[in-house]
Structure 1
Amino acid sequence: MPNSRCVRVCQNRTCRKQGAKSVLAAFEALPIPGVIVTASSCLGQCGNGPMVLVLPDMVWYCGVRSNEVALIVEQHLIGNEKVTQMLYKRFHSGDGK
């Protein structure tokens, strides 16, 4: 599928302590055609998690909570609009607010 996206949810130790397991479960509970959700090993941004990386968009979300997953699904994965308030500023300092 040429338009497929992949959502990687870090499941390494620090992110898991910050709730990444429930974030992954929340994404898996909201399946979207053409979007693959996968557990990821460390994304190298420890202490800012749970980290979520949307590929091939290269959009990084930090501190994601399970109750915020629906917003990412609706706004970004379906609506193609980044959720600016959740963007990881280290990689998206010029995006949004």
Structure 2
Amino acid sequence: MNQPITQEILVCQNRTCRRQGSEKILKVLAGCDLPGVRVVGCGCLGHCGSGPMVLILPELLWYEGVTLGGIQAIILIVGRRPSIVSTG
């Protein structure tokens, strides 16, 4: 039985984010087995120049400048489903 989708990870695929590597970010995240999570490419998230941008819904967790090395942190956070995330 498939688990219902409770979260969505949006990875910007607009021009600027694509130039900054968002295609690879999307490919890696989409290849992860994250129960209850849908990973999709999306249009501009409105933070051009800060990309690649990732948005986790419904929590509205924004990540900018995501790198392949930073994907593991996103996966851990999605697995915990926090309501508040401290980045520093």
Normalised by the shorter chain, which TM-score bucket? 0.7 to 0.9
1:70 aligns with 2:72: yes
SS at match of 1:84: coil
Moved beyond 6 Å, runs of 4+ = none
1:38 aligns with 2:40: yes
Q: How much does 1:84 deviate?
A: 3.5
SS at match of 2:27: helix
**How many equivalent pairs are there?**
84
Distance 2:28 2:85 in 1: 17
Unaligned runs of 5+ in 1: 86-96
Q: What is the TM-score with the length of structure 1 in the denominator?
A: 0.79
> Taking structure 1 as reference, are residues 19 and 83 closer, same or farther at Cα in structure 2, changes over 3 Å only?
farther
Higher helix share: 1
Unaligned runs of 5+ in 2: none
Contact 1:15 1:51 in 2 (8 A): yes
Distance 1:83 1:15 in 2: 23
Percent identity for Structure 1 against Structure 2: 39
Distance 1:7 1:51 in 2: 10
1:48 aligns with 2:77: no
> CA RMSD for the aligned pairs?
1.5
> Taking structure 1 as reference, are residues 79 and 28 closer, same or farther at Cα in structure 2, changes over 3 Å only?
same
Q: What is the TM-score with the length of structure 2 in the denominator?
A: 0.86
